[in-house]
């Protein structure tokens, strides 16, 4: 997940504010963004098996369960998670992975970096130890994604946020990559979080953005035909 910020622009709009930050990204094309007008199924179930390009899942990370300066806990809000930062912090962040899961070393480095700024960071294992494996011919993305919909992760994120509030967090934000960005969108729509960040999002529709109830930043890939 190496990327370089190329430019930043602020989109002026009614509350809540939306920020769009184009990025140069090594994975340029994400999962298709479905048109809300063409589907009757719930947003988190639309086009989950489609692929825009082989680039979508290219350059997978080398997973390492021991990566990071934080620690892995067996249960945070009922789910295994990587945590970093001061647990007594009043500001918390839920960081949500792409299809490769919470063992990605760069993801944990980002969690550690955010934690170093004073936040308590939780990276839940919403994939339950079952990340997408490109080499597994028996489980292509179209098969794998049916067992790991963003909608399921959205529901599992609610107890995580509740646990953060129970331990004293007064403000909770969420950030997600690709697959995880859709989870963030659903949390923002449900008024579960106070700020949202989506990096090269998948599945997110215009209608989703219209329904968000908190400030949201969108970090898009510079060339992304499905989420321009």
Counting residues of the chain whose pLDDT is more than 90, the rounded percentage is 68
* pLDDT given at position 225: 74
Task: Identify the band that residue 16 occupies on the pLDDT scale cut at 50, 70 and 90.
Answer: low
Worst-scoring range by mean pLDDT, 19-33, 46-60, 137-151?
A: 19-33
Domain that holds residue 158: 72-219
Average pLDDT score over residue span 139-148: 94
Q: Residue 130: inside a domain, yes or no?
A: yes
Global pTM?
0.78
pLDDT over 50 (residue 184): yes
Q: Residue 62: inside a domain, yes or no?
A: no
Residue 211 CA, chain-centre distance (Å), reads 18
- Largest Cα separation within the chain, whole Å, is 47
pLDDT over 70 (residue 23): no
Please tell me which residue, 189 or 226, carries the higher pLDDT value: 189
Q: Residue 182: inside a domain, yes or no?
A: yes
| pLDDT tens column, 57-97 | 778 899 999 999 999 999 999 999 999 999 999 999 999 99
Q: Could you tell me the two tokens for 6?
A: 């190329």
Task: Identify the band that residue 227 occupies on the pLDDT scale cut at 50, 70 and 90.
Answer: confident
Task: Identify the band that residue 26 occupies on the pLDDT scale cut at 50, 70 and 90.
Answer: very low
Q: Residue 54: inside a domain, yes or no?
A: no
Domain total in the chain: 1
What number of other Cβ atoms are within 10 A of residue 31's Cβ? 28
Q: Residue 114: inside a domain, yes or no?
A: yes
pLDDT over 60 (residue 139): yes
**CB-CB contact of 202 with 55 (8 Å):** no
| pLDDT tens column, 86-132 | 999 999 999 999 999 999 999 999 999 999 999 999 999 999 999 99
* pLDDT given at position 19: 53
Q: Residue 52: inside a domain, yes or no?
A: no
Selection from 191, 196, 228 nearest residue 211 by Cα: 191
Q: Residue 22: inside a domain, yes or no?
A: no
pLDDT, mean over the chain: 82
Q: What is the CATH number of the domain that holds 197?
A: 3.40.50.1820
Q: What is the Cα gyration radius of the chain?
A: 16
DSSP calls for 180-200 = HHHHHHHHHHTT--SEEEEES
* Residue showing tokens 């179930």: 45
Please tell me which residue, 53 or 13, carries the higher pLDDT value: 53
Q: Residue 14: inside a domain, yes or no?
A: no
């Amino acid at each position: 997940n190496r990327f370089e910020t190329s430019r930043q622009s602020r989109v002026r709009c009614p509350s809540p504010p939306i920020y769009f930050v184009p990025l140069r990204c090594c994975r340029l094309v994400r999962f298709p963004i479905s048109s809300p007008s063409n589907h009757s199924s719930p947003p988190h179930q639309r086009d989950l098996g489609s692929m825009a390009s082989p680039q979508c899942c290219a350059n997978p990370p080398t997973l390492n369960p021991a990566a990071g300066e934080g620690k892995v806990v067996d249960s945070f809000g009922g789910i295994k998670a990587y945590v970093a930062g001061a647990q007594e912090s009043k500001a918390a962040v839920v960081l949500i992975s792409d299809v490769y899961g919470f063992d990605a070393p760069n993801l944990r480095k980002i969690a550690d970096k955010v934690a170093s700024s004073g936040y308590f960071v939780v990276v839940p294992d919403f994939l339950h130890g079952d990340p997408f494996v490109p080499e597994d011919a028996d489980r292509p993305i179209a098969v794998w994604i049916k067992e790991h919909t963003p909608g399921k992760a959205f529901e599992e994120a609610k107890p995580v946020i509740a646990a953060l509030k129970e331990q004293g967090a007064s403000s909770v934000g969420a950030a997600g990559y690709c697959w995880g960005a859709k989870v963030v969108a659903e949390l923002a729509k449900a008024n579960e979080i106070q700020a949202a960040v989506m990096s090269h999002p998948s599945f997110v529709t215009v209608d989703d953005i219209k329904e968000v109830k908190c400030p949201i930043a969108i970090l898009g890939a510079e060339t992304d035909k499905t989420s321009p």
